[in-house]
Structures are given as C-alpha cells and as structure tokens.
Amino acid sequence: MFIKSDDVVAKLLNIRIALAIMGMAALTVMLFSILFGLFNPSDKEVSTSTENYIEIQLGKEYQLKSWEYEYITPDDVEISYIGVNEKNGKRIEVIEKRIPFSEVKEVISKDKTKRRLESKIEDN
C-alpha cells in the first residue's frame, strides 16, 4: 500500500540513465550522418543549383559562356564564371568566389518567387 522511497529513487535513476543513453545514441547518429554526408546535397543538385545561381546573377543582359564550381564543404561552394553581353561584347568575370550554398538556395528561391509574382501581373 505504501510506496517505498528507495523504489521511486531507483526508477527515476533508471529513467535518467536510459534518457542519457538515448541522447548519446541520437547524438552519435547525427554526427555520423553529418560526417558521411547523409544530409548533404548531391553533386547533381549542387551543379544545377550553382548554374542557376550564376545565371540569375548575370541577369538577362549577359549570357553564361563558361563556368565551374568546386564544392568545398557542405556549406560552401567556390564558383568561377564568365558572362558576355552579346550586344556590346562586355564581359563579367568572377574567379574563385566562395559563397555559402545556403545563399545559392536562397537566391534561387527568391528568383522563383519573383517570376511567379511577375507571371501573376502579366495574367491580369
């Protein structure tokens, strides 16, 4: 009928130990997934996104003639590109510019939103 205090303390201690073990296991899984790139974008996604980012940066006046990228870390991309204005022959050259991949995704997302809004204006 009465609960022994030793039993309650033992159960609480067991619960805390179990939670600590589960927390360490979750942390270990997360660290391994980060180290082995489970949450990193694929090479194809990085390549496509980087090319789209460069074309957005060049705008409509310039044509992308040559580009390359190097995926430095899961967070950074180093880009180099040359864009040429076909009308006047002016060139834009960017060599080894390091940018966060999150910025690439953000610029692409904003451009998609801009295009969607512009198409709504044209439809009206």
Residue spans per domain, the chain: 1-39, 43-107
Query: 71-123 pLDDT, tens per residue?
Result: 888 789 999 999 999 899 999 999 999 999 999 999 999 999 999 999 998 88
Q: Which two tokens stand for residue 112?
A: 């998609």
- The dihedral region occupied by 31, where left means phi > 0, alpha psi between -120 and 50, and beta the remainder, is alpha
Range of weakest confidence among 5-14, 51-60, 114-123: 5-14
Q: At what angle do helices 43-58 and 101-123 cross, to 10 degrees?
A: 60
Q: Does position 1 have pLDDT exceeding 50, yes or no?
A: no
Candidates 94, 95, 97, 105; CA nearest to 49 is 105
Average pLDDT over residues 1-20: 79
CB 93 within 8 A of CB 67: no
pLDDT at 40: 76
pTM of the model: 0.67
Strands (E), 29-74: 62-73
Beta bridge partners of 63: 84
